[in-house]
Amino acid sequence: MRKKLIITAVLASVMVMCFAQKPHKIMFYNMENFFDTIDDPETNDEEFLPDGAKRWNTAKYDKKLRNMERVLFDIAAIDRNYPAVIGVSEIENRSILEDIASTRKLLPARYAICHYDSPDLRGVDVAFLYRPDVFKLEGSADIPVRIASLPNWRTRGIVTMWGTIDGEPFLFMVAHWPSRLGGKEASDPKRLAAASQVKHIVDSVMAANPATKVVVMGDLNDDATDASVVEGLSAKGKIKDVKAGDMFNPFIALLKERIRQIRPDALLMGEVLEDASNKVAYDVRRRYFVDGELDSVMNYPFRTAIVNFMRGRDSGPELKNTVMSIVENYPPQVVACNMNLLGTHDTPRILTALVDDFDGSREEKAARHLTKNQMEVARDRLQMAVFLQFTLPGCPSVYYGDEALMEGYKDPFNRRTYPWGREDKEILGFFRHLGRLRREREELRLGSIRFFAAGDKHLGFTRSYEERSARFM
């Protein structure tokens, strides 16, 4: 089998690779805004200067440097062996890596650097630290991420290096794909474009030398089950499913295994916009529950159905059908812990979504607020929507500020700061009351559901568990 591995992470991921003659540690770490204290006139780094918003001075820089030294050394101390290759993201320049490599605890590894300045507006780069005694570098390149329809768009490139480990050919790639700014759905095409370019490189290398071991790592700004990874990279979560042209993504299994070690009753939840039981993407049926990849998902179908009912687009039957479809299609243990949401950072504030579909420019959205009449209607609809969120099967999840009557369009207007001291006390109390009701009534947490009315703008259903039941109309 051709060995092509993808390591995805937001913070850190460590993999022990046994492709070569003996195992070696390969890892990725997002160093989270590791800037120096010197102004670069070519980038927007003003926030991380001594007089900038972060008051980023030498003392803070040195503290972060010590923290990076400690983390990387602790990883090396696991088996008293320094990682052979370390991919990193969010470092401002080469000097950051030079400082890290020269710290007292990491100096014995004698790390070399593979780095290129990226065109990112803030100036953050991706790069590699590698041990020349293990990985024999033969070449490297910085491959830009391009989208034909956005010729002036700039983002981090794909830093690539190739060489050998124990005489076997390796290709390493590290990337920091485009963020979700503007919402996941709107920004998906950018990450899919980045994935397509990575996959093109992988396919080209494998065609030239099928014996090459390929490792892709980085902060992909997507989950291991998202389209950019599953379809864009053709990444499979199980070795047995990997076929010619596919990549192996160990992250789902690793994540779930580690979660269970830390807390046996913890959940692995996926961000799936559709019915996760029968989702088909790129002609491939997803197997989130069949293969036990996920324990639960974000319940976007419920959100869509509730909003449509509240807006008068559905008189009740569609909401009933959506609820029963999820209840009947998902395993019961998944239904009970589905993430019932109304607001997220990828959607408009629920208060706004219940009355206003305005889709103007960024400047127009920044200046636009609900009118007094809209606010009154939205307030009433919100209470009914939240009532359904807390009483339908699943686990209600409140996006911060929805309980305080915050409004706003899609990102970034749904991310405003919490209105401390200016919350709507009545609405806040309503949320709290529903929370207490759900905590006190097992049938709301674990019970089955049966609709006895769904039409003419009315809903009626019963939640039942063992000898208890609750009837809502």
Residue 285's DSSP bridge partners are 280
Nearest-5° angle of CA 132, CA 136, CA 141?
Answer: 100
**CB atoms near residue 426 (< 10 Å):** 10
Strand bridging mode 24-34 / 12-17? antiparallel
Q: What is the 3-state secondary structure (H, E, C) of the chain?
A: CCCEEEEECCCEEEEEECCCCCCEEEEEEEEEEECCCCCCCCCCCHHHCCCCCCCCCHHHHHHHHHHHHHHHHHHHHCCCCCCCEEEEEEECCHHHHHHHHCCCCCHHHCCEEEECCCCCCCCCEEEEEECCCCEEEEEEEEECCCCCCCCCCCCCCEEEEEEEECCEEEEEEEEECCCCCCCHHHHHHHHHHHHHHHHHHHHHHHHHCCCCEEEEEEECCCCCCCHHHHHHCCEECCHHHCCCCCEECCHHHHHHHHHHHHCCCCCCEECCCCCCCCCEECCEECCCCCCCCCCEEECHHHHHHHHHHHCCCCCCHHHHHHHHHHHHHCCHHHHHCCEEECCCCCCCCHHHHCCCCCCCCHHHHHHCCCCHHHHHHHHHHHHHHHHHHHHCCCEEECCCCHHHCCCCCCCCCCCCCCCCCCCCHHHHHHHHHHHHHHHHCHHHHHCEEEEEEEECCEEEEEEEECCEEEEEC
CA–CA distance, 168 with 121 (Å, rounded to integer)? 37
Active site residues: 241, 271
